[in-house]
Chain A
């Protein structure tokens, strides 16, 4: 099987870090070729997410250039979510200082380089606000055909989390999401519908801790930190939002996927950032996204634990 070329675009973040861990494990097993890591402001400020990206890639030994992305959303003002991930955006265990240099290219420049050089269409895995990808599409429309698909964590067909109607990543930059959802590119959407069910539970944490490899202890502490926040909201585990966007590429059989026409609300008083899905086909529009609606939770947890086991 050919390796799938990937660009990992995110705002790490605990669950971004675990998503990238899955990607790196996939690379080690021959599934992926990670061409670039790009950052965006979201969970915390761009400086912090970029620093975190460098630390994560160092920890994982993920051999890809890291480039700093957009300072702010396309048109909206920046908003951050530090309460979920702590002050640093990746609170919990002490991480190694970055052992790699930040690329001199901007995120969009690095994406352009990767797309131009790649022989195969590239899959973009977006686990933060969609600003970089939208900026790429707006500034380099000629490269659209080089993008194979975009697998993104964002939105929710039935509900939101940051407002009752909107999920955080989409809410931060709804205009960027609108560009992406109108792009005509194949989209895989891991929304809250599935990601809030993609729980790692305390018994999984123990299994991870027992792996006792150079990465497992840190992942275990991330999960403890991340779960602590969500436990107070009534969750039975730590929701693995972002890892869904990678796992669906490795193990599509774990997921229940529906084809829907999805639009982004960019206006609205209560609905800005909502992903509105035409489940009943009342608009007459053809579906533009594969929306993940459910998963085999136990199989998902097993695959994550297996991936962490790669880092011996």
Chain B
């Protein structure tokens, strides 16, 4: 691979964020230039620590920045039942010794976007609080990003409420700001992220890859696996891996241009990503490319191939 995309990843690590970050690290086409942590699946202290600790496993030294410790206007809502008390399936990794930079996530993100002059890709796999804060502070930032790849939302239903997916529900106001900002967005909603799950048999296969990452992923994904089995699914979900693999293999995905709006004023519909994909009535804007399906077998094959190559 000759050219590498400079990539910033904003995470609420989070078991699937951790998985997604390991996958991103493994991609030949991506060069990680910065990571930022946000409150979401788990409190900021956890997502920040978890993200730092993954560097030990990746044997890499990416700067990790602290972001928002709570949503823009609302109270946080964590999901330890899915991601464990520590946010990473209650699995621990040693922390790197080196201290992280003091700079706030939004300042560092904007600096990186300026530095890369329009070629920076942003992957956001948590609530969009950090990104919205960056856009509020630096109104030119949306125009400096090549693309934002977002895990979030669902075109027909939610998972945390009947209408809303967790990342959008956790900070709907931030999501609204980001979707209205004008940056090119690729959205990976539940429609596609729930198409692939890893069963216990597959996790065991991954455990046996003879590297450090295999057993780590196996251990970390036991908690989400148990959660998903308890609600009737056949395996652990990998939501945040989807925007990362979209970066490497967009050809595996079926996508459609759509208008996407985030409901912030509804009662039961709070945090719903309203799309006009299936409605006679269209929005008068098209602000996102929405992934609706994926070649499941090819996706799994690619994912396993990348895991096998991990340290």
| A274-B269 contact in complex given A162-B281, A164-B275, A233-B280, C-beta closer than 8 Å | yes
Q: Which of B155, B160, B264, B265 has the most CB of A within 10 A?
A: B265
Q: List 14 A-B contacts (CB under 8 A).
A: A158-B156, A159-B279, A161-B280, A164-B275, A165-B272, A233-B280, A263-B162, A267-B266, A267-B267, A268-B263, A276-B268, A280-B159, A282-B158, A282-B160
Task: List B residues 240-291 near A (Cβ within 8 Å).
Answer: 259, 261-269, 272, 274-283
Q: Using a CB-CB cutoff of 8 Å, which residues 141-181 of chain B contact chain A?
A: 155-163
A271 touching B156 by the CB < 8 A rule?
Answer: no
> In the assembled complex, which residues on chain A have CB atoms less than 8 Å from the CB atom of B266?
265, 267-272, 274
Q: Which residues from chain B sit less than 8 Å from chain A, CB to CB?
A: 155-163, 231, 259, 261-269, 272, 274-283
CA distance A260 to B263 in the complex (A): 22
Residue among A164, A276, A282 with max Cβ neighbours from chain B (10 Å): A164
Measured between beta carbons, the chain A residues less than 8 angstroms from B268 are 263, 265, 276
* Shortest distance between the CB of B154 and any CB in chain A (Å): 10
Is there a chain B Cβ closer than 8 Å to A278's Cβ? yes
| B156 touches which of A157, A266, A268, A269 (Cβ 8 Å) | A157
Q: Is the CB of B269 within 8 A of A283?
A: no
Say how far B195's CB is from chain A's closest CB, in angstroms. Answer: 16
Given contacts A263-B268, A268-B263, A268-B265, A276 and B274 within 8 Å (CB-CB): no
**Cβ contact within 8 Å between B161 and A270:** no
User: Would A271 and B272 be within 8 Å (CB), given that A158-B278, A161-B280 are in contact?
Assistant: yes
Please report A residues at the B interface, Cβ cutoff 8 Å.
157-165, 233, 261, 263, 265-272, 274, 276-280, 282-283
Whole-angstrom distance between the alpha carbons of A261 and B163 in the complex?
12
Among B272, B277, B283, chain A packs the most CB atoms within 10 A around the CB of B272
Q: Determine the residue in chain B with the shortest Cβ distance to A160.
A: B279
Compute how far the CA of A158 lies from the CA of B282 in the bound complex, rounded to whole angstroms: 15
Provide the bound-state CA to CA distance between A158 and B163, in Å: 10
Q: How far is the CA of A158 from the CA of B261 in the complex (A)?
A: 15
Contact residues of A: prevailing secondary structure: loop
Minimal beta-carbon separation of A180 from chain B (angstroms): 16
B159 x A282 contact (CB < 8 A): yes
Q: How many A-B residue pairs have CB under 8 A?
A: 95
- Nearest-CB distance from A109 to chain B (Å)? 33
Task: Please state if A265 and B267 are interface contacts (CB–CB under 8 Å).
Answer: yes
User: B231 — which chain A residues lie within 8 A by C-beta?
Assistant: 280
Nearest A-chain residue to B162, judged by Cβ: A278
Partner of B263, one of A161, A233, A271, A277: A271
List the B side residues contacting A164 at CB < 8 Å.
259, 261, 274-276, 279, 281-283
Instruction: Note all chain B residues with C-beta closer than 8 A to A265.
Output: 163, 266-269
Shortest Cβ distance from B285 into chain A, in angstroms? 11
**Given the contacts A276-B162, A277-B162, A159 and B267 also touching, CB distance less than 8 Å:** no
Nearest 3 A/B pairs, CB to CB: A268-B266, A271-B269, A159-B278
User: Shortest CB–CB separation between residue A158 and chain B, in angstroms?
Assistant: 4
User: B162 near A271 (CB under 8 angstroms)?
Assistant: no
Shortest beta-carbon distance from A207 to chain B in Å: 27
Among B157, B161, B263, B281, the residue within 8 A (CB) of A283 is B161
Cβ distance A98 to chain B, nearest Cβ, rounded Å = 32
User: How many Å from the CB of B119 to the closest CB on chain A?
Assistant: 33
B68 nearest CB across to chain A (Å): 23
Q: Is A269 in contact with B264, judged by CB distance below 8 angstroms?
A: yes
In the assembled complex, how far is the CB of residue B82 from the closest CB belonging to chain A, in whole angstroms? 13
Residues of B within 8 A of A283 (CB): 161-162
Chain A residues whose CB sits within 8 angstroms of the CB of B155 once the complex forms: 158
Instruction: Tell me, in angstroms, the Cα distance from A271 to B176 when the chains sit together.
Output: 14
Known: A158-B156, A161-B280. A269 touches B162 (CB 8 A): no
A159's nearest neighbour on chain B, judged by CB, is: B278
Cα distance A242–B267 when bound, in Å?
A: 28
Q: What would 10 more interface pairs be, CB under 8 Å, given A159-B156, A164-B282, A261-B162?
A: A163-B279, A165-B274, A265-B269, A267-B267, A268-B265, A269-B264, A270-B261, A270-B269, A271-B269, A277-B157
Task: Judge whether B267 and A266 touch: CB under 8 Å.
Answer: yes
Most chain A CB within 10 A, of B261, B269, B283, is at B269
The residue on A at minimum CB distance from B160 is: A282
CA distance in complex: A276, B268 (Å) = 8
For the complex, what is the distance from the CA of A261 to the CA of B156, rounded to whole Å?
15
- Complex Cα distance, B272 from A165, in Å, reads 10
Give CA–CA (A268, B283) in the complex, Å: 16
